[in-house]
Chains A and B, each alone.
Chain A
Amino acid sequence: MAEQAVWTDELYRILREWDVTQFSYVPDAGHAVAINRSLEDPDVHSIPLTTEEEGIAMLAGAHLGGARGVAMMQSSGVGNCVNMFSLVKNGQFPMLLLVSMRGDFGEGNPWQMPMGQTVQPILETCGFVCIRVERPDEVAEAMQAACTMVFQSGQAVAVLLTQRLIGAKAF
């Protein structure tokens, strides 16, 4: 968890450098440190969701108002978002997703496998560029790349924090 704190701090710092002020999520272990940072940060809105799809529409609303956001979710939540992803191809809304992967390298819960294996094909079909991060020393570069693509180039990008990076959940 200590090592996760280091790269997650980097991740959070970079998002703030890029002036991200809306952090939405359905809480999960993979994003716990970033979520807690957003809760402690008086300059941002930390927004727990009832379902991940709210976060996608919320990003579009933020963009309409000139603000930047990030939707943080577990891979299982991506499936809940698919119809909202219409906003990418049918509105060219910039979108930044951080996806903590389950159903990935070393998964111990079979229920997680379907979404884990279909997340990347689903996201790409919906117009997202996916950036997989497998090692802690890749996080900062991946976040800078993602933020440049989203906030400068107006693209939809999903950063997949793989299970190799986060570690498989023990059951």
Chain B
Amino acid sequence: MSTDFLRAGGPAPELSPLGELDRCEAVPKLIGDPNDFLIVAGLAGTAKDAAALCEPQANYFACAGIMGGATAMGIGLALSQPQRRVLVLTGDGELLMNVGSLATVGIMKPPNLSIVCVDNGHYGETGYQKSHTSLGVDLATIALGSGIDAVRTVTQDSEIADAAALIRQMDAPSFVLLKVKPTDPPKIRRSLDATWAKNRFREALLGTG
């Protein structure tokens, strides 16, 4: 069986519709004021999205590893800070690596947790190979099936406002699948020092001592 369809830029059988939105515009538009949230960002593209959005504020923790851990980290943060909105900003590949985390969200239902999956259908940092979501896998359906009721798929600019309101609700967890073009995230140099980022985040949130 030919696996040509897996190659970056290769021919494709039944493709999921690719996003038309540019992540560099759509992510900031969807999130709005990042200071409304405590943000956990998954590695690679979304870590850069978050850094570009949030710096120099300290209200975000962006991973550069532990692929698959962002949503679980968000759950731990959300449960620890029930009065604050917690946003997990992650990519399709990162989320798929531990897609069972959506089931954990679905059963725990932290009301202050939102997940935004920036879905470009490709593994951006390794040569833009197609990921499962450009080959028919639908993370919004998986989120619904995991027990998360507030789910939106955003493919057009006109759909962003509704999703932006949804991620701000505090009565139930929400999931927004933001379909974007497989283009580069913001070019931003960011610190990869997790100890520093952890300490900075905690000091801003909890104070010193």
Seen from chain A, the residues whose Cβ lies within 8 Å of a Cβ on chain B are 21-22, 45, 47-51, 53-67, 69, 83-84, 86-87, 90-93
Whether A65 contacts B81 by the Cβ 8 Å rule is yes
Seen from chain B, the residues whose Cβ lies within 8 Å of a Cβ on chain A are 38, 40, 61, 65-70, 72-81, 98, 100-101, 103-104, 107-108, 194-195, 197-198, 201-202, 205-206
Docked pose: A66 CA to B78 CA in angstroms: 11
Prevailing SS type, chain B contact patch: helix
Query: Which of chain A's residues have a CB closer than 8 A to the CB of B76?
Result: 22, 57-65, 67, 69
Docked pose: A83 CA to B80 CA in angstroms: 23
Docked pose: A69 CA to B75 CA in angstroms: 12
Query: Which of chain B's residues have a CB closer than 8 A to the CB of A86?
Result: 65-66
Whether B80 contacts A66 by the Cβ 8 Å rule is yes
Query: Which of chain B's residues have a CB closer than 8 A to the CB of A92?
Result: 195, 198
User: 10 tightest A-B contacts by CB?
Assistant: A61-B76, A65-B80, A50-B100, A57-B69, A67-B80, A91-B194, A58-B76, A61-B73, A57-B72, A54-B72
Q: Given A64-B198, A91-B194, are A57 and B80 also a contact pair (CB < 8 Å)?
A: no
User: What is the distance, in angstroms, from A62's C-beta to the closest C-beta of chain B?
Assistant: 4
Most buried by B among A48, A62, A64: A64
User: Can you list 13 contacts pairing A with B, beta carbon distance less than 8 Å?
Assistant: A21-B79, A45-B79, A47-B79, A60-B76, A61-B72, A63-B76, A64-B38, A64-B202, A66-B202, A67-B79, A84-B66, A87-B69, A91-B198
